[in-house]
Amino acid sequence: MKDDLKDFVNKHRDEFDHLDPSADVLQRLHAQLQTDRDRINKNKTVFQRLPYIPWLAAASLLVAVLSAYWLFNINRPTTDQPLAATKLLTDEHQPTGHAPANTSTNPIETEEAPPLSPPSQQAAAKLSKNLHSRTNAVLTAPQTPSFATRLRDSSSASTRLAAILEIEQNQQLNHRSLTLLAQTMNRDGNTNVRLAALDVLGQHLDQPDIVDIFQKSLVEQDDPLVQLGIIKIVSQLDDGEIDRTLFSLAEDPYTFRAVRDEAYAVLLKKNKL
Amino acid sequence: MNKQILTFALLTLLSIPAWAQRDYRVSKNNGKLIVNLQGARIEGYDGNEIIFSKAGTVEEEDERAKGLQVLSSTGLKDNTGLGISVVEKDGNIEVFAVGNQNDEELLRIRVPRQMGVVFHNDNSFMADSLLIKGIRGEIEVSTSYNEVRLEDNSGPMNVKSVYNGVEAVFNPSITGPISIVSVYGHVDVSLPAATKATLSLSTSYGKLYAAEAFDIKTEPKSMTEKTEPSIKAVTGDPAAETIFPDMPAVPPTPPVAIGSVSEQIEGSINGGGTHIILKSSYKNVYLRTSS
């Protein structure tokens, strides 16, 4: 198909290439371009015209947040402060030479701790000043379940064992913890936990109720391993009731054989047979 | 020659169904797996299913039992085809044997390793070995007759065996407390030499052994300190002293080791840390370094 226009352009290509617009036309074109540029700039937003503005805004926001954080926290004790105070109080009640297993407060010690001496006026003022913030800090801190709660945790024998080991490290027993340990020794579903409770009780033979606890446990204990442990401990005691219980155990045909043998051995060495 | 190879291949192919591995899967990756069987091989793995599997020869099919169901005095039903009952209860998976277990091969149970594992076999004379391996959750074992082996578990764990020994090999990441006791069996534990642990080792009639590398620091607990309270408990009668002030004081009974001559060591290695309690009444306790 013949294209006249194409032929014309091809024929006069050189002339087109070297054809310059006149100076007047060029000037008008420049003026037109400048007008267009101004119009576009007018339509642009501030952010488009000044590209560094968003970065400036972000930096300002960051500075504002950091400043606000600093201002809010300048009068607030850090989380270390209440923890340190707690540790100091706890340390006062710790027996010497035995560090606590961790920084968690032992509820038994807390229950039995004597009331602290009243704080001085200066200390009281400081305390009231920071009371709100301290309360917040304590409330947000993770709470360690009490010893009794952990001993009742039927879902984990290790939790119960850990609670007993913690008490063992503290080396202080009151009547309540003594009762809890005795219950654990007699009724816990796990032998290892019972044995741990027995070990702790065995270290407190100076407690007034301890002989009674062991005597009753010998009667109602249904775990042979714990029975063996109890016999080992009560062999140090000279108590008529315990000897009678040992004799009953030794005579009972349903008693686990090792328990029977151990009971006989103790009675024999005490010359009670 | 070709005929011989062909025959061998055919026989091998035919024997595959007889040796086929049977699986039963349960989707579960939290809570505990509570196993009440004669024995098992329990292995932790990175997954989201508990996989029960039995390898070995399939029991010969009882023609008379066709269309019937295995009954058990426990009231449980074999819902797996492996002779066990697997049920979910309180967020845990419980496994019970249904009927008598006559398999030569141990039941293999693959467990998501973060799950807890509980094994009970207290009331049965029937006991195979028990292996628990690669578990990162809590482990609880209570058995009368099983040989117990624990490998590459992190703890915490409470293990009790009455008549057989317990062997445990730990990896460097140990979480306490760990308590392993046996009455008539030994307790043999391997720990990495760098383990920081607070130890309690005891035996009534056996011996305590430990690798020299551990350098156990024993607590300064003298015999006098341990027995003093018992003397108080025996002789402490302040009322009698008040009522009869003129009576000569009764001399305190000297502490006498009555019954077994037990060995007990409370100490620490590498400065103390994870609580580890190892106890055997009649056999030895071994504490060695693991490679």
pLDDT tens-digit map of A141-187: 456 677 778 888 878 899 999 988 888 877 677 888 888 899 999 99
Q: Dihedral sign for Cα B76, B81, B82, B87, please.
A: negative
Are the beta carbons of A178 and A209 closer than 8 angstroms? yes
Please give the pLDDT value at position B167. 95
Q: List CB contacts (< 8 A) between A172 and chain B.
A: none
B177, B183, B229 ranked by CB distance to A206: nearest: B229
Residue-wise pLDDT for A227-260, tens only, equals 999 998 888 888 888 888 899 888 988 888 889 8
Contact B179 A192 (CB under 8 A): yes
Q: Tell me: pLDDT of A65 over 90.
A: no
Answer positive or negative: Cα dihedral of A180, A182, A187, A193.
positive
Query: What pLDDT was estimated at residue A270?
Result: 80
Smallest CA–CA distance, residue A232 to chain B, in Å, is 7
Q: Which pair of structure tokens corresponds to residue A270?
A: 């005490």
Residue B12 is predicted with a pLDDT of 56
What pairing do the DSSP bridges indicate for beta strands B108-112 and B217-218?
unpaired
Residue carrying structure tokens 């009281």:
A124
> How far away is chain A from the Cα of B211, in angstroms, using its nearest Cα?
25
All residues of chain B having their beta carbon less than 8 Å from the beta carbon of residue A193 are: 158
- pLDDT score for A240: 85
Q: Given its phi and psi angles, is residue B56 left (phi above 0), alpha (psi -120 to 50 degrees) or beta?
A: left
Write out chain B's pLDDT in tens, 291 residues: 566 666 666 555 555 545 556 789 999 988 999 999 989 999 999 999 999 998 765 666 678 878 887 777 778 888 888 888 999 998 999 999 887 766 667 889 999 999 999 999 987 777 788 999 999 999 999 999 899 999 999 989 999 999 999 999 998 889 889 999 999 999 999 999 999 999 999 998 899 999 988 888 887 554 434 444 333 333 333 333 333 344 444 344 334 444 456 788 999 999 889 999 999 989 999 999 987
CB atoms B181 and A237 under 8 Å: no
Residue B99 CA to residue B38 CA, distance in Å, equals 12
pLDDT digits (tens, 9 = 90+) for A75-94: 433 333 332 333 332 333 33
Query: For residue B1, what pLDDT is reported?
Result: 55
* 8 Å CB contact of A266 and B138: no
Chain B: residue whose CA lies nearest to A162: B177
Instruction: Give the gap in angstroms from C-alpha A235 to the nearest C-alpha of chain B.
Output: 6
If you count them, how many residues does chain B have?
A: 291
- pLDDT at site A142: 52
Residue ranges of chain B whose CB lies within 8 Å of a chain A CB: 116, 138, 140, 142, 155-160, 162, 176-177, 179, 181, 183-184, 200, 204, 226-230, 232-234, 253, 255-256, 258-260, 262, 275, 277, 279, 281-282
Chain B residues with CB-CB distance to A213 below 8 A: none
Instruction: Report d(CA A212, CA A217) in Å as an integer.
Output: 8
pLDDT at A36 over 80: yes
Residue A17: pLDDT over 80: no
- Quick check: B275 and A165 CB within 8 A? yes
In the sheet that holds B285-289, the strands lie side by side as B22-27, B49-54, B108-112, B40-45, B130-133, B148-153, B166-170, B187-191, B285-289, B208-210
In our burial notation (b when 16+ CB lie closer than 10 A, e otherwise), range B220-238 reads eeeeeeebebbbebbeeee
The residue among B121, B125, B277 whose CA lies nearest residue B201 is B277
pLDDT at B215: 84
Residue-level pLDDT at B2: 64
Question: What integer pLDDT is reported at residue A4 of this predicted model?
Answer: 87
> What is the rounded CA–CA span in Å between residue A157 and residue A191?
9
pTM of the predicted structure, to 2 decimals: 0.64
Put simply, the answer to whether B183 touches A228 (Cβ < 8 Å) is: yes
CA dihedral angle for residue A223, residue A227, residue A233, residue A237, rounded to 10 degrees: 130
Q: Count of alpha carbons within 13 Å of B87, Cβ hemisphere only?
A: 11
Give the pLDDT score at B133: 94
> What is the spatial distance between Cα B71 and Cα B77, in angstroms, rounded to a whole number?
7
Band (A41; pLDDT cuts 50, 70, 90): confident
Residues A80, A56: Cα–Cα separation, whole Å: 36
A200 interface with B at CB cutoff 8 Å: no
pLDDT of residue A192: 93
CA distance A96 to A103: 16
Q: Contact, B31 vs B92, CB < 8 A?
A: yes
Place of tokens 């419980």: B94
Q: What are phi and psi of B95, to 5 degrees?
A: -120, 130
Q: Which of A207, A214, A236, A238 to mutate to test the interface with B (most CBs of B within 10 A)?
A: A236
> What is the model's pLDDT at position A83?
29
Do the Cβ atoms of B177 and A231 come within 8 Å?
A: no
More confident residue, A38 or B141: B141
CA-nearest of B155, B149, B165 to B197 is B155
